[in-house]
Amino acid sequence: MQPMNVDLSGQSALVTGAGRGIGRAIGSALASAGARVFLAARTTDQLESAAREIQQNGGTAVPVPTDLSKEKDIQSLFQRISDRAGGLDILVNNAGVGVFGPLAEFSSSDFDRLMQVNTKAVFLCCRQALRLMIPRRTGYIINISSVVGFKGYPNQVAYTASKHAVMGLTKSLAVEAQEHGIRVSAVLPGGVDTKMIAEARPDLDPKILLQPEDIAHTVLYLLSLSDRAAVDQIYIRRRGSQPF
């Protein structure tokens, strides 16, 4: 269900990490608002399931299996978007992995994996999107960060570092892109009922968590704003948690 009247008819959108959880909810919301949505993730069956669900509800979705840890896969993804849609209006960088544990026992390979998917893939997708958006002087890039983009929790040092990096990228890109008519925002969710939060915070009762649809509605809110408005970041937390 859409929380507001947002008309994205004629626009093309890319959502990464779109096979499940937050990304799947965002893809569905964008399609319900009329966008042609490209869904990217590594797991083919999840992507195809998400695309079928959108199509059964009357939307347009194109699943594109993509390993976001590989630059060549990302280049191929954006080439397909360019070939099929002629450009890109909306990019939602949602894909991410979570590996947790005390720093003293954390492996270098896990740190590299986190930075590759959570940070470098965002950089690469933003770069490719800009190459499509700048000539048209329009577009919106929304990076899904996390509450750990400004807060710290034990056993999440590497994950937190990757999300802080996303925030630094987002803040600088927002300044750089605005001269081209492109807006850039970050959404920083608190605890959302996903597989990742179950692994990171098994102490939290799923009943008190945000739902993926809450984050999708936040993305639609950003896209509903007029060209006069620019939002740098939105921190959406579960009710009852500590603010900032």
Residues labelled as active-site residues: 159
Bridge-based pairing of strands 60-65 and 36-41 is parallel
Report d(CA 208, CA 210) in Å as an integer: 7
Nearest C-alpha neighbor of 180 from the set 138, 215, 142, 240: 138
DSSP element (H, E) containing 233:
strand 233-236
DSSP element (H, E) containing 65:
strand 60-65
Residue 242 CA, distance from chain mean position = 24
Report d(CA 68, CA 126) in Å as an integer: 12
Half-sphere exposure of 84 (CA within 13 A, CB side): 19
Report d(CA 114, CA 100) in Å as an integer: 10
Strand ranges (E), 29-147: 36-41, 60-65, 90-93, 139-144
Q: Would you give the end-to-end CA distance of the chain in angstroms?
A: 29
